[in-house]
Amino acid sequence: MGVEASAEAGRRGGRATRGKEEEEEAVDNVEQLAHDALFQARLRFADTMNELGLLKTDLKFSERCLLEKDPTDSTIVVEPGQLVERDAKNTRPLHWAAASGNHQMVQVLVQTSSHLVNSSNDNGDSPLHWAVVNGEISSVGMLLEAKAETLAINRNGVTPLHFAAEGSKKDHFKILKLLLQNLTDNHMVDQIDMKTKAGDTPLHWACLSKRPPLVGCLLNYRASVNATNSLGETPLHLACGAGNSEIVEMLLKKKADINATTKEGDHPVHFAITGGSKEVLSTLLLMEIEFAKNQFKETFFHFAVQKGDVGMVQMVAEAVRRSKGAEACKGLLDTKNKNDDTCLHYAVTNGDVQVVSKLLSLRANVNCENALKDTPLHIAATVGDVSIVHLLLRYRANINAVNLKKVGEDEVPNETPLHWAACSGQASIVRLLIESRANPLAKNASKKTPIQLACDIPTIQAWHVTAAAAPLSQGQDVPLPSPHVNKRAGSGG
């Protein structure tokens, strides 16, 4: 997994069903992340610097800095005007020489134009930025000797130290040590926690690298383990999302806050579940954690179910039982999110039979209702998985539960699971519900029965659905139970 993907996994909690409007907000959040310094930097450099030999600039001399690497050529001649050349983005020959590893050219340029060692291009990148991001340790050494600024910041607030901590190149660990030693020599090591415009410290970036030596190096220089970025994320959040248990344990040994919350209220455990590492999750669950909800009122169970991982669901359940008891576990299972959806709503929506089965075996409420009184059976009737409907009915789901429909300011009784199955064209589920004695004559808020709704769908589907419903709708000798209407629903709001 690349740095961009790791960061994405670490940062975003994989929001479950929150309604269309909140899903759009989640998409906006992801798009906003594209402007994060880490993404901008990696996308910009990774796609270009890895193929330096194919690149051309609009300056003839810069091409030489990029391409000429003849170790036998000790007589490089540089014309005075070439030293100050700049391309369309104000990038100078020293940038290209440093990034490409053209060590002879770097040496010549720093000797003849030392005043340009800290020059910056339009993005604010110095030659040291370019040398570090491409892992050119010899260039880095020469630039530091020429008094290059270790903590120079570009337009995104990114320093060479951040790029070294990001760790995508094999020599980044050596470069990081070199930069940190330079800070020590210049009595600037207290600035190790400089933040990008997104609020990330070098330790944040190192925790996404999955390279423990980088993290250990920064911790040895007393980098802050509880620094927060603009999203409220600590290095531990990102390490948990990246799924590296060794890094997580290193941070915890340095007293990283295991219950730190982001601005969305997510804990490191939320990130660990999203990241998918059972090893990391196991480490966290053995500690004194708060079984808290985030600002969307989602628990660890919501995240584990949304992840679709039965093992993680079981791990969270065992941890809650061990810490709080069986009743507390059931209470968390039935906790409702911002839209009043429980974990069971999530699992059914995802069509995940194994997770549905696990939740029911853990005593999740089979008849839980969300804000509009949709039960898991309502949702299952449209998802189309007969096995999930079987499971819910086996655990005594209310087959004639009636949800609500908003009419102006009021909420009025509306439809049963059979209505939903019929209008979704789920013939096999219609048949199963009717065989299980669902009421085919129940009317929704528009006074329509399930068979009337079926007539509104495409002809072939309608034929199958109405055929499945026909025997009972014609009044054969089968008792028809009355629809169960919740008192709140029956009151019309």
% the chain with pLDDT above 70: 74
From residue 108, alpha-carbon distances to 130, 147, 325 in Å are 17, 15, 71
Highest mean pLDDT among 36-50, 90-104, 298-312: 298-312
Whole-number average pLDDT of the chain: 81
More confident residue, 28 or 169: 169
Find, among 56, 117, 115, 126, the residue nearest to 90 by Cα.
126
What is the CATH code for 367-493? 1.25.40.20
Report the chain's C-alpha Rg in angstroms. Answer: 30
Does the structure show a pLDDT above 80 at 93? yes
Does the structure show a pLDDT above 70 at 69? no
> E strand or H helix at 278, and its extent?
helix 278-285
Segment 433-438 mean pLDDT:
94
Tokens standing for 458? 């495409």
Q: What is the pLDDT of residue 294?
A: 95
Tokens standing for 188? 């600037």
Ranking 26-35, 99-108, 318-327 by mean pLDDT, the lowest is 26-35
Q: Residues 144-201: pLDDT tens digits?
A: 999 999 999 999 999 999 999 998 899 999 999 999 999 998 889 889 999 999 999 9
What is the SS3 assignment for 410?
A: strand
Does the structure show a pLDDT above 70 at 21? no
Q: What is the pLDDT of residue 468?
A: 55
Find, among 83, 109, 96, 94, the residue nearest to 57 by Cα.
96
Domain residue limits, the chain: 367-493
* 39 pLDDT tier (thresholds 50, 70, 90): very low
Q: What is the pLDDT of residue 49?
A: 40
Tokens standing for 474? 């014609």
Q: Residues 248-307: pLDDT tens digits?
A: 999 999 999 999 999 999 999 999 999 999 999 999 999 989 998 999 999 999 999 999
Q: Residues 97-145: pLDDT tens digits?
A: 899 888 888 888 888 878 889 999 999 999 999 999 999 999 999 999 9
DSSP letter for each residue of 175-213: HHHHHHHHHHHTT-GGGTT---TT---HHHHHHHHT-HH
Q: Which are the contacts of 100, defined by CB distance < 8 A and separation ≥ 6?
A: 52, 65, 66, 67, 69, 134, 136
> Which DSSP state fits 374?
-
Highest mean pLDDT among 56-70, 358-372, 468-482: 358-372
Q: What is the pLDDT of residue 407?
A: 75
Q: Which are the contacts of 146, defined by CB distance < 8 A and separation ≥ 6?
A: 110, 114, 117
Bridge-partner residues for 401, per DSSP?
A: 484
Q: What is the pLDDT of residue 411?
A: 83
- Can you tell me the distance from the alpha carbon of 193 to that of 181, in angstroms, rounded to the nearest whole number? 15
User: CB burial class (10 A; 0-12, 13-18, 19+) of residue 115?
Assistant: exposed
**Which pairing describes strands 404-407 and 410-413: parallel, antiparallel, or unpaired?**
antiparallel
Q: Which are the contacts of 447, defined by CB distance < 8 A and separation ≥ 6?
A: none
Residue 44: other Cβ atoms inside 10 A: 14
More confident residue, 14 or 177: 177
* 471 pLDDT tier (thresholds 50, 70, 90): low
Q: What is the pLDDT of residue 469?
A: 55
> Which residue's entry shows tokens 């096999």?
428
